[in-house]
Amino acid sequence: MNPLPYLEQVLTGNLIYLYLPLVLAYFISHQLFLILVKVSKGKNLQVPIVDRSSHSIWCTNLGGVIIYFVITFSRHLFAALLLETEQTNESLFLSLSILIVFFIGLKDDLIEINPYKKIAGQLLAFAMLIFFMDLKIESFGGIFGIQELSSGVSILVSFLAALFIINSFNLIDGIDGLAASIALIINLFFGIYFLFFEDYYHALIAITMIGILLSFLQFNFSTTEKVFMGDSGAFVIALLITYQFFTFLSYTGDAAQPLLVGPKILYLIALFSYPIADTTRVFMVRVRARKNPFAPDKNHLHHLLLKNGFTHAQATLLLASLTLSLVLLAYLVSDLPIALSFTLLTGTLYAFFYLVPKIKLVKMRTA
């Protein structure tokens, strides 16, 4: 079934909910990033260059402050129009969860904190999503032959998944544009999906994030006004992605069948493929080397690409293209048995991680 007519319906039939938050978030965040750069330069709030740094020019890592402010401002601005009474409590708990991870990340940006303390704070934030908002993973969709999960197993798996998402997303924030580009693709996917259901509140979150990320990418790639999202920004974005992840799984019925064919779990695997695979690979490398799995290094695939001659932009484009390609593959194999579809997705991902580090770019010498 061709999804393009339904996609066109979503993108042209909800103009006020789609374009107004997008434009507003972009322009507000752009102006605030400019102010952040000016203040950071004036107060010398720059990121120190260390051995594992992938940058060699001035930059500030306080972009998360702007990301947090704009997403909070936009949510509250449109909430009165979009929220029903029963959603108000959900919005409150989400706000508290975002606030917790923001301050954890901000503290880590300013003075490094113990990784186990970060995890403790993240667990508190996730507890609000899982216990107070009743958002959790209740089924594996047939992968590994597992369907419905018991209540206890569902809660445990949900905590582990949330921890993995937020920390893996933070770990891929190692080169210009990568984390923001992956987040942009994920938010675009969720935003279109929620708009199809006319769930404007959840679509607003995704669309606002798209506007912020488009603005952020301009500064992240800049050579004179460079901004990093920092842990504060990465944690806020990742928590909102996790929230959308759980909300996406909570939808039931076939209302989106024309737009989204096959098990939802396939699309989630595709969307989160790079953070999941790269983090798993790096942890295994560190454990085999008898190192702390949380100790930072430059063994991520994006770091290997830089060593092999890729620029930041080239590596980001390649890895973002991987995510898009796997989402397309998930759609193409969605009619196959779930075990075969899962094997094709993970096999393609494994082949990518095996072959790509062997590619070395030769830089042209100028006369």
pLDDT classification of 232: cutoffs 50, 70, 90: very high
What is the rounded average pLDDT of the residues 193-216?
90
Instruction: Give the model confidence (pLDDT) of 233-285 as tens digits.
Output: 999 999 999 999 999 988 765 554 556 667 888 899 999 999 999 999 888 88
Q: What is the pTM of this model?
A: 0.89
The residue-averaged pLDDT of 323-341 equals: 91
Between 74-88, 313-327, 351-365, the lowest mean confidence (pLDDT) is in: 74-88
41-95: per-residue pLDDT in tens? 888 877 766 555 555 567 888 999 999 999 999 888 876 666 555 566 678 899 9
Domain ranges of the chain: 4-358
Q: 33: pLDDT confidence band, cut at 50, 70 and 90?
A: very high
With contact defined as beta carbons under 8 Å apart, do 324 and 267 qualify?
A: no
pLDDT of residue 366: 42
